[in-house]
Amino acid sequence: MTAVRRGRSRRPAPLAKPGAPGRWGDGRKVRIGLLGGSFNPAHEGHRTIAETARKRLRLDAVWLLVSPGNPLKPARGMARLDRRLASARDVVAGNARLIATDLEARLGTRYTIDTIRRLRARFPRVRFVWLMGADNLIQIPRWQFWRAIFRHVPVAVFPRPGFTRAAVASRAARLFRSRFVPPARAGALRFATPPAWTLLPMREHPASATAIRAGKAAVPRPRRRRAAALPEAALDALVKRIVARLEDDKAEDVVVLDILGKAAFADRMVIASGLSGRQLKAMAEHLLDLLEGEGLRVRAEGLGSSDWVLLDVGDVVVHLFRPETRAHYALEKMWGMSLPGEEASHGEVRRA
C-alpha cells in the first residue's frame, strides 16, 4: 500500500456542501440528481420536481442542467441561454441544494449521453441520478444512444399531466421492466447498479413552459377532452358494471381505487389480473363491447400486449395485468394500498 504523508491526500478533498459544479470536476463524494431541459422558461413545476427528488431519493443536491440547445426542439422561439439560465436560478432561489447551471454549455455537450459520460469522468466519486418527466420517458427512444443513458445512471421518472399513463406502458418502460425499483424503495435508487429506474407518484404540477410562453395560464391543454365528471351514483354504477364484467371473465384480485382529488385524469381506477395473455385480451375486448355499447368513448392501449392492457373511459381507468407484471409495477402501492396477498400484514381495506 502506498504511504500517504500526514495531512495530505492524493485525491481532491470532497466538498463539505454540494455547491455549483466546476467544469473540470472535483473530488466531492455526494449524491446528485440531474434535471436536464431547455427551461424556456423555468417554472414552479421544475422546482417541485427537484425538491421532491432530493427528498424522496435522499440526494444531497439537484443540478438543473440548462441545455444550450435541445436537438429535438426547434431553435425558433428558444430564448437565449443566459435568459433561460436566469429564469432557472430565479425559480430555485432560496434553496441552496437546488443549483441551476449552464454546465452543458461549458462542457460542450448537446446530447444527454455525452453529458452523463463527461460528468461521471470529471466527478468520479459522485453518484448521479437522472431525473425526467413522464413525457420524456415516452419520447426517450428518439434520444441519441438512449439505452446507454439507462446503463450509465439510475433514472427517476415523475408524473406529468396527460402523459403518465402512456409512460408506464412506453417502449423504454417495457424494455427495462425487470429493472424497475418500486417507489417504496426509491431511496435506495442512488445506490442501484444501472440500469435501474422508478416512477415516483406525486401530485402532478400543472405548470407548462409552452403555456407560459404563449402568455396563457400555466395549465397545459389536456391531450384529449375529458367529459364532465359523472355524478357519484352514476360513477359507482359504471364501476360495478365493469367489475361484474371482469368477474364474469374470471378476472382475479379485482380492486377499485378511489383517486378522486388525487389525480386529474380520472376518479376511479380498476385493477385486475388475468392468468394469460389470451385471458387479458378477452377481458379487454368484452369490456370494450360493454362500454362502447353504452355509448362511452374508450381509449385502449396495449391490446396487442400479453401482460398489460389499459382502458381509459374518462372518469374510470382500467388496468388489466398478468400477476407478475402487476406485482412488478405495484400500482396499488403507488396509491397507498396493498398488493394482493398483503392484506393481512397491512390491515388495509380493499374495495372490489
Per residue in 248-301, pLDDT (tens digit) is 999 999 999 888 877 667 788 999 999 988 899 899 999 999 998 888 888 887
Give yes or no: residues 55 and 122 share one domain: yes
Residue span of the structural domain in which 170 resides: 31-211
Q: Which grid cell is 162?
A: 396527460
Q: Specify the pLDDT at position 310.
A: 85
Q: Specify the pLDDT at position 102.
A: 93
Give yes or no: residues 162 and 63 share one domain: yes
For all residues of the chain together, what is the average pLDDT? Answer: 81
Task: Give the range among 176-185, 192-201, 303-312 with minimum mean pLDDT.
Answer: 303-312
Give yes or no: residues 201 and 279 share one domain: no
Tell which residue, 28, 18, 43, 36, has the closest CA to residue 205.
43
**DSSP state letters, 168-203:** HTSHHHHHTGGGBPPGGGGGGGGGSPSS-EEE---P
Cα dist from 211 to 9, 127, 224, 240, whole Å: 51, 34, 16, 39
Q: How many domains does the chain have?
A: 2
Q: Would you say residue 17 lies in a domain? A: no
Cβ count within 10 A of residue 66: 27
Segments in 249-342 forming alpha helices (H): 277-293, 323-329, 331-334
The radius of gyration of the chain's CA atoms, rounded to the nearest angstrom, is 23
Q: Would you say residue 14 lies in a domain? A: no
Q: Would you say residue 264 lies in a domain? A: yes
Q: Which grid cell is 91?
A: 425559480
Give yes or no: residues 64 and 193 share one domain: yes
Give yes or no: residues 132 and 263 share one domain: no
Q: Reply yes or no on whether the pLDDT at 338 is more than 80.
A: no
pLDDT tens, position by position, 108-139: 998 999 999 999 999 999 999 999 999 899 99
Of the chain, the percentage scoring pLDDT greater than 70 comes to 77
Q: Reply yes or no on whether the pLDDT at 93 is more than 60.
A: yes
What amino acid is encoded at 257 in this protein?
L
Q: Specify the pLDDT at position 219.
A: 36
Q: Specify the pLDDT at position 197.
A: 96
Q: Would you say residue 18 lies in a domain? A: no
Which of 222 and 33 is assigned the larger pLDDT? 33
User: Which whole number is the average pLDDT over 169-196?
Assistant: 93
Cβ count within 10 A of residue 243: 19
Give yes or no: residues 174 and 303 share one domain: no
Q: Would you say residue 220 lies in a domain? A: no
The single-letter DSSP state of residue 33 is E
Q: Specify the pLDDT at position 225.
A: 40
Q: Would you say residue 4 lies in a domain? A: no
Q: What 3-state DSSP class applies to 317?
A: strand
Give yes or no: residues 237 and 207 share one domain: no
Give yes or no: residues 185 and 51 share one domain: yes
Give yes or no: residues 68 and 200 share one domain: yes
pTM of the model: 0.58
Q: Specify the pLDDT at position 21.
A: 77
Give yes or no: residues 292 and 198 share one domain: no
pLDDT tens, position by position, 314-333: 889 999 998 888 887 777 77
The single-letter DSSP state of residue 351 is B
Give yes or no: residues 194 and 242 share one domain: no
Task: Give the range among 43-47, 190-194, 342-346 with minimum mean pLDDT.
Answer: 342-346
Strand pairing class (252-258; 268-273): antiparallel
CATH of the domain at 326: 3.30.460.10
Q: Reply yes or no on whether the pLDDT at 244 is more than 90.
A: yes
Q: Give 4: exposed, middle or buried? Use CB within 10 Å, 0-12, 13-18, 19+.
A: exposed
